[in-house]
Chain A
């Protein structure tokens, strides 16, 4: 087991290396000369050259890449072109809203989608099943910002139940925090719910055909125990895998959701950075999100034994 963990962690290193190389190349081939930007409009070519040398921009690609990786490992992601603040500081300021949104969405989505998938599999072929599958197709088709605007229009503008937009920090109380995040979380969760519900249904359908389910039925185990104890437990591995892979949808969707609901998180930071062409910030955010994504999927890989003791390493 321990050897497996080590092997699995080592296997993520080449993946992260490719991500790092890609993200670094982004800055390297980015149009516009950072030295010229820093030097300003009044600078002479000599000034620009001097700044270029002082920044080390005249050195070869691999040297700069190595140094960049070394800096990141030491917690230095460079300085924003626009605000002159270190990128790590800017990310730290914005991390809470995004983390809140994603955790809430994750909890909400899993607790809605898994029962939905289970019921659909149980009532296979009936109108319940068809409703769930129909919802899943809709979830895949209606983009996150469309769901966001419809929800905000109905529940915030027309019914006035929830705030239209904005964010309240967690330390100012749980309910104000939740009130602001409910709509964004539902909007962001749409695709995710569709994905998880579909996989849950598909896996459950397969598991429900197994002999041990028939045995359980024959000996009179009640329906709920069969579904949630016997079947769901055996369907857990694919479901958990898709929850991990679906994190990519969550991350991409967060960027948009934060724009719709004016949440000052990492997504807003990304959008602002794009509009200002603030490459160090774009780099930092892409790297951070990818790192989180890889880490989550690594954790899930390691958790498999928990759900299925037959898997041994």
Chain B
């Protein structure tokens, strides 16, 4: 046995902190962002786009639907920053106002699909007889490629922003439901749920207090991905003529209108394309960052 006392050992160990000063981790919001650069970059770009969407009327735009046939298909210039389209409308104003449609559709679909998916997933995770039925229906819906499903639904209705949101939401629900159900099924086996059951906690309370909070992290991550994919789907629907009505300037519509002229006037297509890509990229980066931050187990896998 060693003869050194605890104090002697401490005396030997003591100088170490002086040699190697402890790195003080930055705390608070800024520190969090520095630790997760993808959240910072994605969040910044998304806020920028959100600002553009909200403040579109203040950002030196003109009426995005105002026609000026005499000044059609102008190249980008000091007067027309992004040029003008074949009806003489200002592409810059149209692209900025287009951000509104994209944001509205993306966020609405993300929120709606999450809420409905959460409800369906919780139900089928807890009600045995409903599970088999609901999951067969979800399997069937999932075997229709989501864009086709949205296209088919849009074929039934008139083109409007509201209908686009509903169609894309329906197409996204099966995936969220599956995710929530999977989480619920694994949570049900957790010892603390058993403990709650043993204590005589009623099922609604267990769902509310023990299951729901644990589904929020994966749902949040999923919601950002849904938001990104909804923005792309909206643009695709509008691009092929099954989305928002042509009167509304959405990025898909602007590209659809620029399509006929794109070989001679490519900028009409490219400006909305850049805005759409950057916005979706921002949301995806935010999603990746949130996934890494909220669910380290998933981060390792993907």
Point out residues on A near B: beta carbons under 8 Å.
14-19, 21-23, 26, 29-31, 137-138, 140-146, 149-150, 153, 157, 164, 198-199, 202, 205-206, 247-249, 251-253, 255-256, 259, 270-271, 273-275, 277, 279, 282, 285-286, 289-290, 293-294, 297
Contact = CB atoms under 8 A, between A and B. Distances in A.
Given A142-B277, A274-B151, A15 B263 contact: no
A31 B156 contact: yes
Given A252-B146, A294-B143, A141 B240 contact: no
A81 to B, nearest CB: 12
A274 B241 CA distance: 8
B140 A149 contact: no
Contact of A146 (B141, B277, B285): B277
Contact of A251 (B145, B240, B270, B284): B145
7 contacts: A19-B140, A31-B156, A137-B284, A141-B281, A143-B280, A248-B145, A293-B143
A18 B152 contact: no
Given A145-B255, A149-B273, A271-B241, A18 B228 contact: no
B205 interface: no
Size category of the binding interface on chain B: 35 or more
A270 B236 CA distance: 13
B260 to A, nearest CB: 12
A145 B156 contact: no
Given A137-B288, A286-B144, A293-B143, A143 B232 contact: yes
B156 to A, nearest CB: 6
B301 interface: yes
B147 interface: yes
B144 A274 contact: no
Contacts of A143: 232, 235-236, 273, 276-277, 280
Contacts of B137: 18
| Chain B interface helix/strand/loop/mixed | helix
A23 B145 CA distance: 13
B156 A14 contact: no
Interface in B129-161: 136-137, 139-141, 143-149, 151-152, 154-157
Given A15-B143, A19-B140, A22-B141, A141 B152 contact: no
Contacts of B301: 202, 206
Given A255-B147, A259-B240, A138 B281 contact: yes
A247 B148 CA distance: 12
Contacts of A282: 151-152, 155
Given A141-B284, A142-B280, A15 B136 contact: yes
Contacts, number: 145
Contacts of B147: 251-253, 255-256
A255 B151 CA distance: 10
Q: 10 smallest A-B Cβ distances: which pairs?
A: A18-B140, A252-B147, A141-B281, A248-B145, A146-B273, A251-B145, A141-B280, A142-B277, A252-B145, A290-B144
A141 B277 contact: yes
Contact of A271 (B240, B285, B302): B240
Nearest to B239: A145
Interface string B261-302: 011001001100100110011001100100000000000111
B226 interface: no
Nearest to B258: A149
A18 B139 contact: yes
B242 interface: yes
